[in-house]
Amino acid sequence: MLRGRRIVLGLTGSIAAYKSAYLVRLLTGAGAEVRVVMTPGAKEFITPLTLGTLSGRPVVSELTEDRDAGTWTHHVELGLWGDLILVAPATAHTLSGMAEGRGDSLLLTILLSAKCPVMVAPAMDRDMWLHAATQSNLAALIERGVEVVPPEDGELASGLSGVGRMAEPAHILTHLQHWFSASAPLAGRRALVTAGPTHEPVDAVRFLGNRSSGQMGLALARELAQRGAQVDLVCGPISAEQRDELLAEQSDLSQPLIRLIDVETALEMHAAALESLAREPACDLIIGAAAVADARPAAAIQGKASGSALPEQIDLVRNPDILADLAARRADGCFAIGFSLASDDGLEAAKRKLASKNCDLIVLNTLADKGAGFGHKTNRIRMVWPDNRIDSFELKSKREVAADIIDAYQAQLDPTPASSTTPKK
C-alpha cells in the first residue's frame, strides 16, 4: 500500500524523535518516498544527517535555507508534494500550534498550506497527554479530519509509566497501510486474478508449458492491492524470487491484501479459480492474465521415463477454458478482463475472443512488437472493447501497463461515460 506514496515526515522536539530513524527506514523499505521536516527542537534529539541519509533526501528545518543568499524553503511545494503529512513524534506544543493555526515554524507553515491529509503520532508525558488542553486541541484536530495514531502505554522518559509514548514505528507503519487501504479507490472490492503459465506433466520431470514468467499477472495483483482491493491471485509456476518478493511485500500487513494460491496445472488453476469465485463477498473483477496450456497429456507417465522409453507421440486432451467458465459464472456487475497474445496483428482474433469468452475487455499484445510478450519487463497493449473501440498504448513497463488496465476498469465504475475520457498513451 505504500509503494510510490509520498510522505512528508515532520519531527518535533521529543525524545521519541530517535524512533523516527527506524520509521524512515520502514517507510522507505515499504516503497514510500520520504521527505523529512524537523523543528529546531527535534534537532536536539537526532541529527538531520541521520534522517537525510536514511531518506535519501535533504532534510529541511528553517524557512530560510540561506539567509545571506536570500533563499528560502518552498513550504507550499512540500505541502503539495505529499500524499500525506505524518507528524511523528507530535508534541503537545506542536498539537497546540496546529489547533491554533500558528505558523511559527517551517513544519507548522507547511501544515497550514498543505492540500493532503495529515496524520499525527503524539508523544509526551502521561499527565501532559491527559491534560484538558491537550485533549481539547486533539479533539479540534480530529474534527478537522486529522488522523491520530494513538500513543501507547509503557515506560516514559520522565520515569513514570502510562499512556503517552509514541506508537512503535512498526505499529505506525501498519496504521498507515490500513489507512491508505481504507481510503484507496478500490477499497471494499474483491478481484480474482490468474497469472503465470501452467505446467502439464509428461512424466515426473518433463512437462508441456510455455514461456510465461507471470510478471504481468503479478503486476496487476500489486496494482489492485495498491488501490485497496482484496485480491485472490491464482498463480501457476513462477520463479522463487518473484514469489518471495510478493510475500515479503505482504509480510508487514496483519491482513494481507493479496491471497496467493499456488497451482501447477490447468486443472488445478481451474478448480482454485472456481473456488475463489464462489467465496464471499462476490468478486467485482476477474482478470485472466494466465497463459494456460490449451491441452495436457491424456495420461502422464509415472515416475521419470528414460529418454529411450519416451513415446514417439503423446495423446493430448483439451484443458478447460478457465476464463470462459469464470465469466459465465460471475455475479451480476462483475467485470471480466481477458488477455490475447498473437504472433501477428491479432486484432480480429481478439475481437472473436471478446465474444467467445464473454468478457467486457480484451487486452491484446503481440509478439510482433519488440519488447512485448513473454519474458520481457515491458509490454505494448491494445484494449479491445465490445463497442469496437480500440485504445492503443505505447511500450511501457509491465507495472505501468497494469496501471493503465486498472485505470480502464475504474473508468467503468465512474459515472462519467468512458467515451468522454482520454486513455493514457
Residues with catalytic roles: 210
Radius of gyration for the chain, computed over Cα atoms and rounded to the nearest angstrom: 26
168, 171, 178, 17: which is closest to 94 by C-alpha?
A: 17
Query: What number of helices (H) and strands (E) belong to the chain?
Result: 14, 23
411, 365, 410: which is closest to 384 by C-alpha?
A: 365
Q: Distance between CA 33 and CA 102 in Å, rounded?
A: 27
**In contact, 233 and 260? CB cutoff 8 Å:** yes
Q: Distance between CA 102 and CA 109 in Å, rounded?
A: 8
Q: Which helix (H) or strand (E) holds 22?
A: helix 19-29
Pairing of strands 382-384, 361-366: antiparallel
Residue 248 φ/ψ, nearest 5 degrees:
-65, -35
Helix, strand, or coil here: 260? strand
Cα angle: 45, vertex 83, 151; to 5 degrees:
45
* DSSP H helices in 102-160: 106-113, 126-130, 132-143
